[in-house]
Amino acid sequence: MAKDEAILRFNKVSFGHDDKKPLLNEVDFSIRRGTKTTVMGQNGAGKSTLFGLITKEFLPGNGIITVVNDVSIALSRQVIPREELDLTVKEFFEKALSRCTEKKVYDIDPKIDETLEIVHLKAPHDKIIKSFSGGQQARLLLASALIQNPDLLLLDEPTNNLDKAGIEHLTQFLIGYDKTCIVISHDAGFLNSFTDGVLYLDVFTRKIEQYTGNYFDVREQIAIRQEKENRKNAQLIKEIKDNREKANFFANKGGKLRLVAKKMREKADEAEEDKVEIRREDKTIRSFVIPSQADIAGIIVNISSFKAIKNHKTVQKKTNIELWRGEHLLLKGPNGIGKSSLLELIAKNEAEGTKIAPNINIGYYRQDFSTLNFEDTVYKSLSRAAETQSEELMRNIAAGFLITGDMMKTKIGDLSEGQKGLVAFARLVLQKPGLLILDEPTNHINFRHIPIIAEALNKYSGAMIIVSHVPDFVSKIKIDKTLDLED
């Protein structure tokens, strides 16, 4: 097939878990061989669902999805499924290869090593997946797709949990990648380095708009289009108001003027139909405050020593860090050094060498959202956090995080990863922690929300410990102390 021919085509494709509210409605687009395409859209707009349709995990309700004969597809998912966390590295890759071939793969070990080298990860083949850090698991997810040597590579939030070196390596890999790739990500700089075009999911119309150009160019095109739509709406609203006023005036005159009134109403109705709904995916969460626990004082956290991982071995290191009310600590270090493990132990008040003052309420934002009960509805999850606070307050806080309507009735496990993140933040607001622990809080979050989250964390008046590999995000937060686990 020629390079400029379509490798994938959607023709009038509709899909939805609920027939009344489809995620996608009569979608049309095509992907050319050898191109690198970004998928944009708000959390919950259906980006990961789009990948599920391409891989045939989901079947469309209507329309046709055409994939060129003999084109192989591999997906690098956002997170490793829970049922695969107890697999060894070898078993994990065997399962990945089983998705693209029914034949048993012999002598798989050299293939694993070759693929792990591409993602800059060394790992014993008998090591259990859940023992890897979040950043290392991100590399394993990418490697599990690459080992299949697909014609079409689908990457779902591939930079989540990756440190700076990991993102730079992935960027260079994609720049040099000569096959077809579709990427979902909220990392603007990463996307702009290799993107040829954009698929834009409009969460209101449920359509997909296709644009050509780099990521920043397309964002500008969308902003210009939205501004034109807003100006058109303003003009139409004025016309509608004028026509309805004239219709009421002529209707009251009676006689033949009632026909004029009818025409005025028809003009108003036509103008109403021509109005363009403002894109809901351009909404951002409201500015918010995470209240800190009242009546706390003195040293909230004391860290005298900690454990880190070096050359696959645990080492004990000494330090002397005291966190008082209003002080923020940044944990630094490359993927796999033990940052998430240390945060988890501190959150459980089980970290050797760390003392937390008595009766401190701990709010813990975990990168895999396992602090949430996936069987709870969103309403139940927020109610647990709200405790004795009023339902009106709880719903108002939820609305600020774009959590309304049917989403409140949805199980946590059925939400997109980005929506889970917003629920986790809403819970922190309701919990009023004295110690706030955050592990990669920008993962999966729409880029529009990130400055607002940074502002809230910057103003947080309790003690805070945070891990983030996003320098621009960290730069917007007051950091009083830093603990580098590599030193």
pLDDT digits (tens, 9 = 90+) for 225-283: 777 777 777 777 787 787 778 778 777 777 767 777 777 777 777 766 655 554 444 57
Asked if residues 367 and 161 have their Cβ atoms less than 8 Å apart, the reply is yes
Give the CATH superfamily of 299-484.
P-loop containing nucleotide triphosphate hydrolases (3.40.50.300)
Q: Which helix (H) or strand (E) holds 50?
A: helix 47-54
H/E run at residue 111: helix 108-118
| pLDDT value at residue 155 | 94
pTM recorded for the entire structure = 0.69
| Burial (0-12, 13-18, 19+ Cβ within 10 Å), 84 | middle
Give pLDDT < 50 ranges for the chain.
1, 278-281
- Residue 318: both structure tokens together: 């000494």
Q: Cβ distance 471 to 168 under 8 Å?
A: no
d(CA 328, CA 97): 44
Q: Cα dihedral sign for 203, 205, 207, 209?
A: negative
Residue 31, beta-bridge partner list: 8
Structure confidence at residue 1 (pLDDT): 46
Three-state SS string over 219-276 comes to: HHHHHHHHHHHHHHHHHHHHHHHHHHHHHHHHHHHCCCHHHHHHHHHHHHHHHHHHCC
| CA dist., res. 157 & res. 382, Å (int) | 26
d(CA 64, CA 321): 60
What does the pLDDT look like over 96-112, one tens digit per residue?
Answer: 888 776 556 678 999 99
Instruction: Dig out the tokens for 298 from the structure.
Output: 């003195």
Q: What is the pLDDT of residue 4?
A: 67
Q: What is the pLDDT of residue 280?
A: 45
Query: How are strands ordered across the β-sheet holding 6-15?
Result: 24-32, 6-15, 62-67
> What are the strands of the beta sheet with 299-310, ordered from one edge?
313-324, 299-310, 354-356
CB 11 within 8 A of CB 67: no
Residue with tokens 């014993």: 124
Q: Which helix (H) or strand (E) holds 309?
A: strand 299-310
Burial of 95 (C-beta count, 10 Å sphere; 0-12/13-18/19+)? middle
Distance of alpha carbon 43 from alpha carbon 52, whole angstroms: 16
Residue 80 CA, distance from chain mean position: 15
Which DSSP category does 51 fall into?
H
End-to-end CA distance of the chain: 53
Question: What local confidence, expressed as pLDDT, does residue 360 receive?
Answer: 96
Which architecture, in CATH terms, is 6-214?
Answer: 3-Layer(aba) Sandwich (3.40)
If you compute the radius of gyration of the chain from its CA atoms, what whole number of angstroms results?
26
Of 469, 430, 472, 429, nearest to 454 by C-alpha is: 472
Pairing assessment for the beta strands 313-324 and 328-332 based on DSSP bridges: unpaired
Per-residue confidence (pLDDT) for residue 271, from 0 to 100 = 65
